[in-house]
Amino acid sequence: MSTLAMHASDGLLNAPTSLLFGAVAVAGLAVATGKARRELDDRTAPLAGLVAAFVFAVQMLNFPVLPGVSGHLLGGALAAILVGPWTGALCVSVVLVVQALLFADGGLTALGANITNMALLGTAAGYVVAVALRRFATRSRPGLLAVAFTAALVNTVVASAGFVLEYAIGGQGAVSLGGFAAALLGVHVLIGIGEGVITALTVGAVASARPDLVHLLRGAPVAREAAS
Amino acid sequence: MSARKRGAWFFAAFAVVALVLAGVVSYFADGDPDGLDHVTTRGCTEVAGQLQGACPAAHAEDHALADSPLADYAVGGDDGLTGLAGVLGVLATLVVSGGLFWLLRTRSRSGRDGSPGP
């Protein structure tokens, strides 16, 4: 097994479960594609392409979380805050498809599960948190960083919970589900802290240069001033 | 600086950052298994490169495209070229997502600065 594999391989989930989450992913992406049209225009489409490329790059940068264990960015909250939740889900999906097809990372039959967890569930959870805390994000720069951090942390943990759910439905191997869930969620809290730091730094940098391009800040005074 | 020029600089800088992260910083990434890999291999021992035991990863199959040229973020199996694989990945992602989002975008009837659009 290569340590450079970053996403779920084929064989961890049985065939019916893989198929089920393949269907969930296709349905989710169909909805996201329709809704993303409203988020994308001549200004935001190039940014969204760059955000996907950036997520691909940062996903390569595994950071240590425990002795012998690393973590990497998933990127759903980062993308959703910058370009909107539907486009953000598509950004992470494109990354996962490129990784599975070009880099043999993330199994082909596991692609539906990987998209469901990282592109759909994680992105949605991160964005819901970001919107719920939006008033802090628009008020001050530290507020924006704190909101980005929190949204990203929740995004990581929820994405890992998605895999626990899939494993509960049709996982292979004879391990106790409780122990598996506790271990996976626990390590993803630590990874989520790293995801939160990276997301806060990135969103902060974009907000410093072009606050008008940050989806979460749309309509806020700081974004309107920059756009005028 | 005009808004258009400012936008171009910002996008160029964003792209350069992504390329440097994938092309250079990737060499400093932690090579240990990630969280999912770690947890799915718990309870197994590696014997002659094969996982043995009851862990989920013992059921993991080799990737169907494991022999493809950029598999495992190497180039033709050469880990020393991870940076090149990363740069190619950033460009591939940019082309696919940029193309997708450009096709999906709502075309503006007029430019944001008030000038008539195409």
A128 inside domain = yes
What does the pLDDT read at residue A220? 85
A10 inside domain = no
A8 inside domain = no
Specify the number of domains making up chain A.
1
What does the pLDDT read at residue B8? 85
Closest Cα to residue A99, out of B14, B106, B97?
Answer: B97
Q: Is B107's pLDDT higher than 90? A: no
B112 inside domain = no
Looking at the complex, does the CB of residue B16 fall below 8 Å from at least one CB of chain A?
A: no
What does the pLDDT read at residue A1? 35
A5 inside domain = no
Q: Which two tokens stand for residue A209?
A: 């240069």
Closest Cα to residue A60, out of A45, A73, A44, A42?
Answer: A73
What does the pLDDT read at residue A4? 60
How far is it, in rounded angstroms, from Cα A86 to Cα A104? 26
Query: Using a CB-CB distance cutoff of 8 angstroms, which residues of chain A are in contact with residue B93?
Result: 52-53, 55-56, 94-95, 98
What is the least distance, in Å, from the CA of B90 to any CA of chain A? 5
A33 inside domain = yes
B27 inside domain = yes
B97 inside domain = yes
CA distances from A185 to A162, A192, B35, B50, B76 (A): 10, 10, 9, 26, 35
pLDDT tens per residue, range A128-169:
999 999 999 999 999 999 999 999 999 999 999 999 999 999
B109 inside domain = no
Which range of residues forms the domain containing residue B31? 3-104
Which range of residues forms the domain containing residue A198? 15-227
A82 inside domain = yes
Specify the number of domains making up chain B.
1
Looking at the complex, does the CB of residue A45 fall below 8 Å from at least one CB of chain B?
A: yes
A7 inside domain = no
Tell me, what's the ipTM?
A: 0.93
Interface touch A53/B15, C-beta < 8 Å: yes
pLDDT tens per residue, range A89-105:
999 999 999 999 999 99
Q: What is the mean pLDDT of residues A171-184?
A: 92
Option in A69, A103, A210 nearest B35 (CB): A69
Q: Which two tokens stand for residue A216?
A: 């979460």
Query: Using a CB-CB distance cutoff of 8 angstroms, which residues of chain A are in contact with residue B11?
Result: 46-47, 50
Which residue in B104, B107, B108 has the most chain A C-beta atoms within 10 A of its own C-beta, making it the best mutation to test that interface?
Answer: B104
Interface touch A175/B41, C-beta < 8 Å: no
Interface touch B32/A68, C-beta < 8 Å: yes
How far is it, in rounded angstroms, from Cα A193 to Cα A176? 26
CATH number for position A95:
1.10.1760.20
pLDDT tens per residue, range B34-55:
999 999 999 898 888 888 888 9
